[in-house]
Amino acid sequence: MHNGNHLGIINPLVDIYNSISLRYGLPCGGKDIDTFVGNIRLTKAVGNENFITLGTDENAPLYEGKIVYKDNQGAICRCWNWRESVRTMLTEDTKNAFLCIELIDERRLKGFENALGDLAKKVQDDLGGTCKISILDINSKEVSIK
């Protein structure tokens, strides 16, 4: 049922990954690599990290134990890859982006792989970007992105 709400236009790169997220039903997100301080990691929040959620201007400190992406300055995304930070958001001026698609249900691996390929193709075809696809899992826990 259509409730009258529409997905707004943000910027071309965000619009691309939002379209992939909707098409495949997988969480997609993006961050500006050039804003990272040190390495990023997927980890649990200690509970004192500052975090200004995209779309607000108020600090909403994280709860201890919540899954977050963080760099050496603090959280860059919370609720896995769902709630992104103002500090690392993608803008029209972004030159280097970290785009992330998460898969929890390994039975959807083929759709996940298709989503990765479609995301890379759209970034290349529509924006002239270059992409490197890496999949992290229990056996492959690190990748260099810079």
State yes or no: pLDDT of 35 exceeds 90. yes
Burial class for 17, CB neighbours closer than 10 Å (0-12, 13-18, 19+): buried
Give yes or no for residue 11 having a pLDDT over 50.
yes
Quick one: pLDDT at residue 61? 85
Domain residue ranges in the chain: 7-31+91-135, 37-87
The model's pLDDT over 48-60, given as tens digits with 9 standing for 90+, comes to 888 998 888 988 8
Asked if 86 and 52 count as a contact pair (C-beta separation under 8 A), the reply is: yes
Per-residue model confidence (pLDDT) at position 95: 96
The yes-or-no verdict on residue 3 having pLDDT over 50 is yes
